[in-house]
Structure 1
């Protein structure tokens, strides 16, 4: 990771004007929820092949590629993939899309539109799925409530369900990787 170059999100506007290559490595659902409102290429990290990306986009080996994810960790992983494949002009956008939004970068998507509505204005009807973060909270709450109810009414062994959810939440908080979110991104309503 020491060799990976980074840029601050405030530099993004000038790079976009120069026609830079921005690669968004978040999941399809995250990309639908919010994405840069400028030219960029979206390839989820789990399907990314650095060599194929460069070839498919007709990019010379010395092209600068600016990589973006939600907070920076997946972008760093993608940058390491590019480095390992021999492409050394990769840059991670520090703080990911969250930092870009904080810096005022123009972002659009289904959850961005939802956030701009005040609590007094009815939200427009949409066929977009519930944002992933809310799905995780709903599922975790459901598992905890169901496990607790079963532990109280049938067998104490069911107390392991809320315990497992709690351990999963601790792990997700420490590593910023959520197994439940990963599973939910594969659900048919999130495709």
Structure 2
């Protein structure tokens, strides 16, 4: 398995006019700020969008973006497995913003939600705290909740995957509406 080509924030910014940028974060994260001109196709929708992404890649370079680079690398591998060459933004939108580049926000007052990493930290912390409190107040067996979250976090770090993020991505505020995804794919086809 090859590592996808990466572009730094500076190089990506200088080439932004010639790139098709696909943001694979959840719609909530995307609404919180994205690389200017990026189209939102969440990671779990990439396979559905393959024909349209292939069409865009046939006409020019495609840059895949997420918050830190992990999800965009996964998306690039899926695309490469389907014969589509892409690059990823090294460090994601975090590195983009840290380099002093502006993030664009959707017009029309789209409500931003917390980034996925923050959602995972909140959920993990809540379940650990709940397990400890219930373990002290009701029965020690509830502490298994805390141990399960700890084991999941270790597994997540070792494999660079996150099952909790995958589950949280299915919540309504993290899912694109059918019309939103169709609109995005139409815009991708017209580039």
TM-score (norm 2): 0.74
Post-superposition offset of 1:11:
0.8
Within the candidate set 178, 181, 188, 2:162 is matched to 178
Moved more, 45-54 or 27-36: 45-54
Query: Computing the radius of gyration over CA atoms, which structure comes out larger, 1 or 2?
Result: 1
Partner of 2:41: 43
Partner of 1:76: 73
1:137-162: per-residue Cα shift (whole Å, max 9, x none)? Answer: 33323322222222223322111111
With over 3 angstroms needed to count, the CA separation of the structure-2 counterparts of 1:40 and 1:146, relative to structure 1, is: closer
1:139-187: per-residue Cα shift (whole Å, max 9, x none)? Answer: 3233222222222233221111111122223333444433323322322
Post-superposition offset of 1:3:
6.2
1:13 paired with 2:26, answer: no
1:65 paired with 2:62, answer: yes
Moved more, 41-50 or 166-175: 166-175
Gapped regions of structure 2 (runs ≥ 5): 176-191
1:141 paired with 2:125, answer: yes
1: CA distance between counterparts of 2:3 and 2:127? 42
Aligned residues: 171
Partner of 2:140: 156
TM-score (norm 1): 0.74
Of structures 1 and 2, the one scoring higher in RCO (CA 8 A, sep 6+) is 2
C-alpha contact (below 8 Å) 1:29/1:185 kept by paired residues:
no
Gapped regions of structure 1 (runs ≥ 5): 111-125
